[in-house]
Amino acid sequence: MQLGPSSILGLVIIFPRVCWSRYEALSGDQVWELQGEVGLVSTMLGSKGLVDILDESGPRRMIRVRAKHSAEVLLTLLQNNLSYKILVEDLASYLKEKEGQPRRRSSNTCSSSSCPRPLSDSYMTLDQIEWYLKELNTTHSSRLSVTSIGKSIEGRDIWLVHIRPRRCSVGGAVWIEAVS
């Protein structure tokens, strides 16, 4: 067969209709809380891609267990004498249920006179960071100054902290914390 200017060539591509819900990929996944001396077990499970650690900055006890890996995760826990508690049976169903509900405000909110102490084992809220910076500016004004240098796209202040050196300074340190 020769193709010429008068030949008609048709190509039909059929795409199957895929209707994935927003949480379809999480169907069957569970959230477990590990109990006992966790050690590096959760980190090892995470590095193998079997779980997602949900409390990275904490004791690494909260994990999302993928449905297809639950048997292997359970075997690893048994081998390490760890028990677990299922907090969420089906993550997709849980998220669908929670989707329309208003979010609770964090209990770590700050007022002008007080704020929960910054934690060394978890991330601070934006309120805590701002309160802490303003407190440092007030209590250590001879050594540092805190200034807003602009606004983020969400209208939040972008803080510049200028730390002045001591006269007899030996060495130094840099502390950077960012909030997304």
Cβ–Cβ < 8 Å for 86, 32: yes
Residue by residue, DSSP assigns 45-59 as HHHTTSEEES-TTTT
Cβ–Cβ < 8 Å for 26, 95: yes
User: pLDDT of the chain along its 180 residues, tens only?
Assistant: 454 444 444 444 444 444 445 678 888 999 999 988 888 888 889 889 999 888 766 677 888 999 999 999 999 999 999 999 999 999 888 888 877 666 554 455 677 677 766 655 567 777 888 888 888 888 888 888 888 888 888 788 888 888 877 665 555 556 665 555
Cβ–Cβ < 8 Å for 67, 60: no
Let me know if 18 is exposed, middle or buried by CB neighbors in 10 A (0-12, 13-18, 19+): exposed
Give the pLDDT confidence of 84-137 residue by residue, as tens digits. Answer: 999 999 988 888 887 766 655 445 567 767 776 665 556 777 788 888 888 888
Give the pLDDT confidence of 116-128 residue by residue, as tens digits. Answer: 666 555 677 778 8
User: pTM of the entire structure?
Assistant: 0.49
As a whole number of Å, the end-to-end CA separation of the chain is 62
Cβ–Cβ < 8 Å for 132, 115: yes
SS3 of residue 76 by DSSP: helix
